[in-house]
Structure 1
Amino acid sequence: MDRALSALLEAQGLSPVGRMQPLGGGDIAAVYRLETSQGPVVVKHDEAERLTGEADGLQALRQAESSLRVPNVLALGDGWLVMEALEAGSRSPRSATALGEGLRQLHSHTAAEHGWPRDNACGRTPQPNAPLADGRVFQRERRLLPLARASHERGLLDNRLRGRIEALAEALEEWLPDLPASLLHGDLWSGNVLYTPQGPAVIDPAVYRHYPEVDLAMLTLFGSPGDAFFEAYWDGNAPYDWPRREALFQLYPLLNHLLLFGSSYRSGVERAIAAIEQL
């Protein structure tokens, strides 16, 4: 075992029992399960800056008044993050309802400014979060334009497609209202939701404050949380322009996937752009 990790565990009174077992599902960091004298923990190895941002996000989610479970951060340092291990269960209509209720509670924590006190990362991609008062400006300047520029510089977007993204970004004030900024998980794809016997849990956040539909759009990007989830989340008050907001807030993660994983995601970017333009 790495000496730095051994020292980190020892400082917390966690004596390893056996060897670390690799966990699947992560595309960026190395993640392991480790049995200790105080019970199982999850251990993640990554760049220190990304781990610090993740730990900050986990602590912010835990401090929010929400029924969602969030793993406790046990130790952080020298490229290692040690967290509480959560017991996995199975998804059901009841758990989908609980996820919707818990996410609605999380999003009820709002602030005037969009962003976060520190930058973090979404996958390997640096995520700038310097706060801005207007959510439309934040989406344009902190999300869409930086990733469109980066994708273009890497040859993943041609001039025409980059121009369409820039035009959409400049026109947000024409249809998207400015709203108070909700506390977000920030990277809420289905793999970052766990269904535990004690209720749904969320892991691997990229926390900031912005439109609540950011988390909803990420949940529907590669599937759907189901009708029971949306019934619980919206409680009969779905926004009238949800399809357009869904497409808008899927554009940023699709651009991020384009940067991280290559041109296979360009067609998804094109579909999201077309949906926003048509609605």
Structure 2
Amino acid sequence: MKIVRDLGRSHAWTLHEGRLGDGRRVFVKRGADFTAEAAGLRWLAEAGAVAVPEVIEVREDTLVLEWIETGRPTAEAAERFGRELAALHAFGAESFGAPWPGTIAELPMDNSPAPTWPEFYVTRRVLPFVRLARDRGRLSALDVELLEEACERVPEVCGPAEPPSRIHGDLWNGNLLWTGERVVLIDPAAHGGHRETDLAMLSLFGAPHLGTILGAYREAAPLADGWRQRIPLHQLHPLAVHVCLFGEAYRSSLLSAARDVLAL
């Protein structure tokens, strides 16, 4: 493989365009352990529901992926993606968690299974990053107390129990590649989780044709009553991660989400 163009940096790694010996273009990431990302992409591909880039090679500190040519976001692609996302979730998972150690950005993430989704979400997703943010000096003791109170409420306010869904786990707009005909998903933090988590992540930072995506999803897989009110609950984790990574800019949003959970 030959690197033909540097594409900049993302978090702790560098991005490149490469060429294989047979002339194929590939996307190359270097500078970190990409084992979890590769495992997540392959696991999502198993469902045969959503488009993900082929993992061509993963070794040491390098990940080589199929090159995806992007295009303009369209309503047709958004509608298709909503249906495909519903099919991915419906494919399911063996448990809440995943059989490999997880990562999100450059942070490690515990994927060990838990018997219920509330327990998994609180103990594997929210509290570890709340405590990391505290240890980095980005949350006060009072902030942590508020977030712990919100976590105590999760089992009561998370809605009807559902079996584990196969979810992307970091489904913000930057991880959606629009090809014109469909959406290709990249950079997963994939695991067995709650399907509302992916929808809440899409809502957190917005996405082109979001209403169309959600409408098509709900036609294919209706959501339990109150799902919109539960969006802040599912945003506790990504907001806590953002506080760990980027600091004060996301603190107020995280605390606001915690208050919304306490008000449910």
Letter in 2 for 1:223: G
For 2:198, the equivalent position in structure 1 comes to 215
Structure 2 CA distance for aligned equivalents of residues 93 and 198 of structure 1: 10
Structure 2 CA distance for aligned equivalents of residues 203 and 174 of structure 1: 33
For 1:254, the equivalent position in structure 2 comes to 239
Report the more deviating stretch, 188-197 or 219-228.
Answer: 219-228
Q: What pairs with 1:1-279 in structure 2 (closer than 5 Å)?
A: 9=1, 16=2, 19-23=3-7, 26-36=10-20, 37-48=22-33, 51-66=34-49, 68-111=50-93, 113-176=95-158, 177-224=160-207, 225-235=209-219, 237-279=222-264
* Deviation of 1:182 (Å): 0.4
Structure 1 CA distance for aligned equivalents of residues 189 and 155 of structure 2: 25
The one of the two structures with greater contact order (alpha-carbon pairs below 8 A, sep at least 6) is 2
* Deviation of 1:198 (Å): 4.4
Letter in 1 for 2:43: A
CA offsets 1:74-93 (integer angstroms, 9 cap, x no match): 11113111111011111011
Question: Could you say what secondary structure the match of 2:230 adopts?
Answer: helix
Are residues 271 and 253 of structure 1, via their aligned partners in 2, closer, same or farther at CA, if it must alter by over 3 Å?
Answer: same
Structure 2 CA distance for aligned equivalents of residues 268 and 241 of structure 1: 21
Structure 2 CA distance for aligned equivalents of residues 63 and 111 of structure 1: 11
How large is the Cα RMSD of the aligned pairs?
1.7
For 1:13, the equivalent position in structure 2 comes to none
Unpaired runs of at least 5, structure 2 = none
Report the more deviating stretch, 140-149 or 170-179.
Answer: 170-179
Q: Normalized against structure 2, the TM-score is what? A: 0.93
* Deviation of 1:147 (Å): 1.2
Aligned residues: 260
Asked if 2 retains the 8 angstrom alpha-carbon contact of 1:188 and 1:205, the reply is yes
Letter in 2 for 1:124: E
* Deviation of 1:113 (Å): 2.1
The sequence identity of aligned pairs, in percent, is 33
The structure having more radius of gyration, on CA atoms, is: 1
Structure 2 CA distance for aligned equivalents of residues 129 and 123 of structure 1: 15
Report the more deviating stretch, 219-228 or 116-125.
Answer: 219-228
Structure 2 CA distance for aligned equivalents of residues 250 and 132 of structure 1: 20
